[in-house]
Amino acid sequence: MRVAVGQMEIIPGDVERNLRNGLDLINKAKKNGCDLILLPEVWTTGFLFKKLKELARYADESINEVKKASNDILICGTFVVDDEPDDEKVFNKFFAISNRETVFEYTKTMLFGVTGEDNYFSRGYIEQDNVFEFNKVKIGVSVCYELRFPEFFRKASFNGALIHLHPAIWPVSRLEHWNTLTKARSIENQLYFLCANGTGKSGKWELAGNSKIYSPWGEVLEDIERATGIKFADINFKEIEEARKNLPSLKDSLKFFK
């Protein structure tokens, strides 16, 4: 399986431009024979808090455009979605889309109160599944702030995830945390870890970029650093078997913590 992470500058509120740039990354991934691409968190809208309700109206149109581009590739990322028009809040929802169909949805659970996310978003249920299957491979999902909560990753691993996807909008001021925690999540769960972040400015925040693909040993296979574009890698599932056999920490944890 060939997987890709896409990194882009997300202009808050400019759905047309963001969608165009995201679709360009998707097309590049397809041309490079990728089976899967992960895009950043809320990549079509950004976090324009006071206009999220309005921006959510574009979700169906944006998702339909992604569906049109999804032949022979799995496209993943989050969108601002308004499932309850009468409510004041919206949802930050992960979509996995392939062959013009939505194959999985997950709603971000942990909201970042420091920036006021909890004032504008409704959270997902902690009991919801964060693993889905694609081409007979189980894939785990988490979003941005959830990187700081290893329970989400353990839950996915205990349920068979061999790949974990993590879209985010993460600031450069906490780049060291990003690099440390993404590497740790890969090592402790012994899986391929894809994290897609934005780059450039997001409102008043300078974003960290550094979208990466990690091996099950925590090795950085690809790193986009601060640029825009895509990086891709070929996944060798035997490497997961080797890592888990030679250092059976995940197996040992299953004895006590599942």
Residue from 34, 105, 117, 144 carrying the catalytic annotation: 144
Helix (H) or strand (E) holding 138: strand 137-141
How far apart, in whole angstroms, are the C-alpha atoms of residue 29 and residue 36? 8
| Count of the separate structural domains present in the chain | 1
Q: How far apart (Å, rounded) are the C-alpha atoms in residues 119 and 94?
A: 19
Q: Which of 34, 93, 105, 108 is catalytic?
A: 108
What is the pLDDT at residue 185?
98
Count CA atoms within 13 Å of residue 199 on its CB side: 21
Identify the helix (H) or strand (E) that includes residue 252: helix 249-257
pLDDT, residue 239, reads 97
pLDDT value at residue 205: 87
DSSP for residue 85:
T
Average pLDDT over the chain reads 96
Map tokens 């896409």 to a residue: 6
> How far out from the chain centre does Cα 135 lie?
18
* Phi–psi pair at 79, nearest 5 degrees: -130, 155
Which ranges of the chain have pLDDT less than 70? none
**Tokens 């004895």 correspond to what residue?**
255
Give yes or no: 258 in active site: no
Residue 106 in contact with residue 128, Cβ under 8 Å?
yes
The residue length of the chain stands at 258
CA 190 – CA 161 distance, rounded (Å): 10
Token code pair at residue 206: 């300078």
Structure tokens at 95: 């979509």
Q: What does pTM read for this prediction?
A: 0.97
Active site (annotated) includes residue 41: yes
- Beta strand 212-214 with 220-223 is antiparallel
Q: Name the region of 211 (left: φ>0; alpha: ψ -120 to 50; beta: rest).
A: beta
Question: What whole-number distance in Å separates Cα of residue 87 and Cα of residue 121?
Answer: 10
Cβ 192 vs Cβ 235: under 8 Å: yes
d(CA 223, CA 195): 10
Residue 123 lies in domain: 2-257
Task: For residue 167, report the phi and psi dihedrals to the nearest 5 degrees.
Answer: -80, 150
Separation CA 214–CA 190 (nearest Å): 10
Residue 162 CB: number of other CB atoms within 10 A?
21
- For residue 36, the domain's CATH number is 3.60.110.10
Q: Specify the amino acid at residue 96.
A: A
pLDDT tens per residue, range 225-235 = 999 999 999 99
